[in-house]
């Protein structure tokens, strides 16, 4: 099982006109390097000739080290969004995660606080820049990036709107255990084995988080994995030594995965607590076939948090969309690479229309 959990030179000068339009030749992308105390963040600014809003959309990607385009299975998700927004007069900035592309730093050992700091530093750069000046922002977060968007938006007067794109409203620990169960969906494995595996994952994650009884949790994980392998090989000749090695390999793999700060710092963080404190308009987008951040697990939690906040919000569900908002048949991960590298109908327009219509 693989978890998908999740200042340089400038090409032109920007000047803000009284008419609220920026005079430039075109909306070609401009690459920018933003230097902070800790890292350099590389990204791309898309600045249309005529702006329909003075807010800059900043995009934060999902789990794992992503490039500025959020290229997943060959689909350049953020680049396509940025190009559409530019065609509608909306400026955007997308950036490489730490250790990817032009961004420096160590992604694997970065935490939720590091990623939040990077997003805040990006806003600070644009607020202080004479060449690319923006004072207000729309934070768009895809998947795990939605957790960052909500976290950074709380109490930040520079944030005018938040767009949550397939974003979890529950701690990632719940997303992980959901995915563990889903991996057995098309098998005949008895539920007692499935639930034993869920518990083994839970115990290992908690042991690593607390730095207590890790060896004991590791042994439980290995033994559980071995029992499942034996059960799934019941009608075949069993090579016990081979199964033992497979169980050890899987236990070793997840001991490493669950020990990575880039994951563990998110595991028990509850994004709904931030959503409860938002006081800006929120657009939340869900895919009806999203396997990774399913509606039934996240929408109600998010809506209850938004109702508690009292802010304006809108939910839009795309029935046939997967986690990447492609038109899908099953929504399963093994289908992603086979699909057209484009969004479902009306997805892009739902974003641009909401931005322009909520000014």
Per-residue pLDDT tens over the stretch 136-195:
999 999 999 999 999 999 999 999 999 999 999 999 999 999 999 999 988 999 999 999
Radius of gyration for the chain, computed over Cα atoms and rounded to the nearest angstrom: 22
> What percent of the chain has pLDDT above 90?
84
**Alpha helices, DSSP H, located in the chain:** 77-87, 112-128, 144-153, 172-182, 191-210, 214-232, 240-257, 261-267, 271-275, 295-309, 347-357
pLDDT: which is higher, 112 or 13: 112
> Between the CA atoms of 97, 103, 105 and 107, what dihedral angle is there, to the nearest 10 degrees?
20
Predicted local distance difference test score (pLDDT) of residue 238:
73
Predicted local distance difference test score (pLDDT) of residue 6:
37
Mean pLDDT on 275-301: 97
Q: Which residues contact 212 (CB under 8 A, 6 or more apart)?
A: none
CATH classification code of 30-171+270-357: 3.40.50.1820
pLDDT classification of 13: cutoffs 50, 70, 90: very low
**pTM, two decimal places:** 0.88
Predicted local distance difference test score (pLDDT) of residue 234:
74
pLDDT in tens, 180-208: 999 998 899 999 999 999 999 999 999 99
Closest by Cα among 151, 144, 186 to 165: 144
pLDDT in tens, 323-341: 999 999 999 888 999 999 9
Predicted local distance difference test score (pLDDT) of residue 358:
66
pLDDT at 18 over 80: no
Torsions phi, psi for 285 (to 5 deg)? -110, 130
């Amino acid at each position: 099982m693989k978890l998908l959990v999740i200042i340089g030179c400038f090409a032109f000068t920007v000047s803000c006109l009284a008419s609220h339009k920026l005079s430039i030749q075109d909306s070609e992308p401009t690459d920018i390097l933003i230097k902070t105390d800790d890292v350099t963040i590389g990204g791309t600014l898309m600045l249309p000739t005529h702006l329909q809003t003075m807010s800059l959309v900043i995009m934060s990607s999902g789990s794992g080290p992503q490039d500025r385009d959020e290229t997943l299975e060959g689909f350049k998700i953020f680049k396509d969004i940025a190009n559409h927004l530019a065609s509608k007069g909306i400026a955007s900035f997308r950036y490489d995660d730490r250790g990817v592309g032009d961004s420096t730093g160590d992604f694997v050992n970065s935490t939720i606080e590091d990623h939040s700091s990077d997003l805040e530093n990006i806003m600070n750069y644009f607020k202080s820049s004479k060449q690319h000046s923006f004072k207000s922002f729309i934070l768009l977060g895809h998947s795990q990036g939605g957790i960052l968007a909500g976290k950074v938006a709380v109490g930040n007067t520079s944030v005018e709107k938040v767009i949550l794109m397939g974003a979890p409203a529950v701690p990632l620990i719940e997303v992980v255990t959901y995915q563990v169960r889903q991996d057995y969906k098309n098998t005949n494995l008895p539920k007692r084995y499935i639930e034993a595996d869920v518990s083994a994952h839970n115990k290992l994650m908690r042991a690593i988080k607390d730095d207590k009884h890790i060896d004991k949790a590791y042994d439980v994980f290995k033994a559980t994995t071995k029992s499942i392998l034996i059960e799934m090989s019941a009608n075949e000749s069993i090579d016990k030594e081979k199964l033992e090695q497979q169980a050890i390999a899987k236990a070793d793999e997840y001991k490493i995965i669950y020990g990575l700060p880039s994951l563990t710092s998110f595991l028990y963080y509850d994004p709904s607590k931030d959503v409860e404190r938002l006081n800006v308009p929120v657009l939340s987008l869900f895919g009806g076939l999203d396997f990774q951040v399913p509606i039934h697990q996240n929408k109600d939690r998010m809506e209850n948090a938004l109702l508690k906040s009292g802010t304006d919000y809108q939910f839009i569900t795309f029935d046939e969309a997967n986690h990447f908002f492609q038109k899908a048949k099953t929504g399963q991960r093994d289908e992603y690479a086979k699909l057209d590298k484009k969004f479902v109908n009306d997805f892009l327009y739902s974003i641009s229309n909401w931005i322009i219509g909520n000014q």
